[in-house]
Amino acid sequence: MDGTLVDTEPYWMAAEIPLVESFGGTWTHEQALTLVGSGLEDSARILQAVGVDMGVGEIIDHLTAEVRRQLATLGVPFRPGAQELLRSLRDAGIPTALVTMSMRRMAEDIVSLIDFPSFDLIVAGDDVDRPKPHPEAYLKASTELGVDPMHTVALEDSPTGLRAAVSAGTVAIGVPHLVALDDAGAHELWPSLSGRTPEDVATLYRRHRPASAPSMSLAADRGDHA
């Protein structure tokens, strides 16, 4: 979601900096980039390590509330081509899942602002026990879609997310945004989703799928922040 579907990573960073500073610490842009694609619990523990004297759950609730506030006041900045590709996949009858380490309440906020039926299901950070880079979220999404993960395509913008997708057995597309993906294991890298079509996705899938895989579904993510 964050970074692949919507460009909310700057919102997360804008929430992290004043939180750390309120406890007398410092939080740089470079440090913030290390959290891209991570589960919120992992991110919260890192923030604790730099001085945030709050519980993990408190940190998650604070950051989530602040990012939701920014979404409400500043709007949702969709990534170039993301909505268009998602709409065309839906029109083509391709099942889709949103796989994100953000909390479900935030994912539902984002999905509610898409003006067409966009996802068959959401798997969020509070739906799994093990965050990315563990493959649990992608495996759960595949199970709920009723497909083998080897028959799916994942779109990711972070190394953490790509490792989760590849570990789950998906055909993984990396769409770089804030961090480089050159050594993250993507089957292919796309510089942008602008102008991409379902046939582009299907062609890439056929190029990399196992010989036994007959069909395609799409599991889409943030790159996430969370």
Region of 157 please: left (phi>0), alpha (psi -120 to 50) or beta.
alpha
To the nearest 10 degrees (0 to 180), the angle between helices 9-22 and 40-49 is: 30
SS3 labels along 15-46: HHHHHHHHCCCCCCHHHHHCCCCCCHHHHHHH
- Asked if pLDDT for residue 167 goes beyond 70, the answer is yes
One-letter amino acid at 204 equals: L
Distance from CA of residue 64 to its chain's centroid?
A: 15
SS3 205: helix
In the sheet where 96-99 sits, what is the strand order?
A: 121-123, 96-99, 217-221, 152-156, 171-174, 188-189
Model confidence at 221, in pLDDT bands (50, 70, 90)?
low
| Helices of type H across the chain | 9-22, 29-33, 40-49, 56-74, 82-91, 104-112, 136-145, 159-168, 198-208
pTM of the predicted model, to two decimals? 0.81
Model confidence at 40, in pLDDT bands (50, 70, 90)?
confident
Give 17's contacts (C-beta < 8 A, 6+ positions apart): 27, 32
Q: Which domains does the chain have, with CATH numbers?
A: 1-226 (3.40.50.1000)
Query: What are the pLDDT digits (tens) for 118-135?
Result: 999 999 999 999 999 999
Pairwise pLDDT comparison (216 vs 200), residue with the higher score:
200
pLDDT at 172: 97
